[in-house]
Structure 1
Amino acid sequence: MSGASGNLKPVRRSRLRRLAGKRYFTLKRYLRWIISPGKRATARTMENLPFEAASHETPLLRRLRNVDMQLQYNKIVNLRLAIAKLDGLLIRPGETFSYWRSIGKPTKRKGYLEGMVLYYGGFRPGTGGGLCQLSNLIYWMALHTPLTVTERHRHSYDVFPDEQRTQPFGSGATCAYNYLDLQLYNPTDYTYQLRLNLDDTHLHGEWRCDGRQLYSYEIYEADHVIHMEPWGGYVRSNRIRRKVYTRSGELAGDEEVAENHALMMYSPLLHPPAAAGPQAMADE
């Protein structure tokens, strides 16, 4: 996709160009890991830290038009494998969490199956598909903590209508090994712990901490707009903001955390935006 935020237009690239681009960015990321490894979060413990900082859950299955449900059943297998690498992870003061460095490359050899992968405004099967649900969950919970988001990516396409979407548009974090990563930095004096698990219906997550949080957070959407481009397509834009409250309930801050622009792959006239709420969001 090309153009500025208000002038998005799909770009058709050859298969060779796409493969070359993916290889370039993958190798670039590997090189960065070698040259600038940073202070990475690697320690884990299965003993809960004493205080809950944030929690959330999202449904495992969502019926989507023209999408084989088997891909979503496979996604559950993929989530279980990734959770085994992340559950209990500690982010100590000054450390950085990297989604992909913690999980590793999802391959068939490791047991990952073909799940749904969004691809240039559509979807296709891909090994490890569905792990965006996990990165979405971790990112959304992190917005309710003092953890700093140092890398986060958003889909350039808005593929599915707002039906069943109960969080603001653009409040997720897409991932693609290894060049589209989710990274969180701990600027506090406390240690944070990531807890994750699956039950029969939902993916559950929690950030825990060894100290009680000084603030609480409210995430909301601002400046939502849908506009038609000169070439005939629709672009959807918004800003994700958060209000920061003290323990006594006083407003301590109101800050922008993300700006989103995406090419809509459905008619906005047929599917008006639904009201956003604090409940679960299905994976994108």
Structure 2
Amino acid sequence: MVSLQPIKRSKLRIYLGKKVFRLKRYGEWWWDGKQYAMTKAEDKLPHVVKKHRTPLLRQLKDVDMQLQHNKITNLKLAARRVNGIILQPGETFSYWRLIGNTTRRKGYVDGMILHYGKVTVGVGGGLCQLSNLIYWITLHTPLTVTERYRHSYDVFPDSSRSQPFGSGATCAFNYLDLQIKNETTTPYQLIVYLTDTHLTGEWRAASPATRTYKVYEKDHQFTFESWGGYVRHNTIFRHVYDLDGNLLEDEFVTENHAITMYEPFLTYEGE
């Protein structure tokens, strides 16, 4: 069992660390030899492989709802950058290479950012909802997630959660990236858009799916640590079925460990 505890870093250490990791990422984009997906198509590929949607507005404890509305502005801008992207066989999807830096000059506004277990405000905040959605629908395809980062802190208690804990992907420009490689022989296309109430994403393909997937968790638990807080743990697996419903594989996906910023055994309003 992994044991975690909060890490205190100075503002200077955090600032310099971001600079170093961002420069490293720029270098990787240019020199790592990967073929990154950059081509979009207005026409949709014919076959929907996986579709999912998440609500745009959630009432979070002690969080200004204006930040939720600002998030919608940021999601609209980011969604335009990835919507329609074609992922050809052998290519890699990079979340941040497509979206780019989220600056005010591009129209991004202040949104909610989770920073070392605390809710803060930053330009472009709220885009984890998009990376979470893309990661979730990718787990229901034969595409390969080659880079994904889990949340180090579990800030809010579950509220009407429909997906397992730890089934998302945190993001921070540009060093916490989400990368997905198409190791199949079929082109895939990512479609992302907003309705009045939801963020919707889907993977489409040039040929029909031959497998279906069910993502589930194992070994979910909270542990009380010697430093006086709780850590949440689980492992994510997925069942792979053929089109007749026969179980083909039971695949390990990832494990999650996150410091909880709430008392896990209390009942919270809205749950």
- Give TM-score, length-normalised by structure 1: 0.93
User: For residues 125-181 of structure 1, what are the alpha-carbon distances to aligned partners after superposition, in whole Å with 9 as ceiling and x for unaligned?
Assistant: 111000000000000000000000000001100000012222110000000000000
User: Which residue in the other structure is 1:181 paired with?
Assistant: 177
For residues 196 and 43 of structure 1, what CA distance do their matches in structure 2 show? Answer: 15
* Equivalent pair of 1:162/1:271 in contact (CA under 8 Å): no
Partner of residue 109 from structure 2, selected from 99, 107, 113: 113
Indicate the percent of aligned positions where both proteins have the same amino acid. 57
DSSP 3-state at the match of 2:219: strand
* Counterpart residue number, 2:227: 231
Determine the C-alpha separation between the residues in 2 that align with 1:129 and 1:11: 22
1:51 to 36, 44, 47: 47
Cα offset, 1:6, TM superposition: 2.4
SS at match of 1:8: coil
Aligned equivalent of 1:66, options 62, 66, 71: 62
Alignment match, 2:187: 191
1:213 has 2:228 as partner: no
Could you say if the C-alpha distance between residues 256 and 271 of structure 1 is closer, same or farther in structure 2, counting changes exceeding 3 Å?
farther
How many residue pairs end up in the alignment? 270
Which residues of 2 match residues 29-48 of structure 1 at below 5 A? Answer: 29-48=25-44
Q: What stretches of structure 1 of length at least 5 have no aligned partner?
A: 276-284
RMSD: 1.4
SS of residue paired to 1:22: helix
| CA distance in structure 1 between the aligned counterparts of 2:163 and 2:247, rounded to whole angstroms | 22
What secondary structure sits across from 2:262 in the alignment?
coil
1:95 is aligned to 91
Distance in 2 between the 1:196 and 1:21 partners?
Answer: 32
Amino acid at match of 1:97: F
In the alignment, the residues of structure 2 paired with residue 36 and residue 192 of structure 1 have an alpha-carbon distance, to the nearest angstrom, of 22
SS at match of 2:167: coil
Structure 2: which 5+ runs fail to align? none
State the partner residue of 1:257: 253
Question: Does 1:159 pair with 2:159?
Answer: no
Which residue identity is paired with 1:185? K
CA distance in structure 2 between the aligned counterparts of 1:22 and 1:41, rounded to whole angstroms: 25
Distance 1:151 1:263 in 2: 21
Alpha-carbon offset, residue 217 of structure 1: 0.2
Q: Name the SS for the 1:218 alignment partner.
A: strand
Correspondence for 2:146:
150
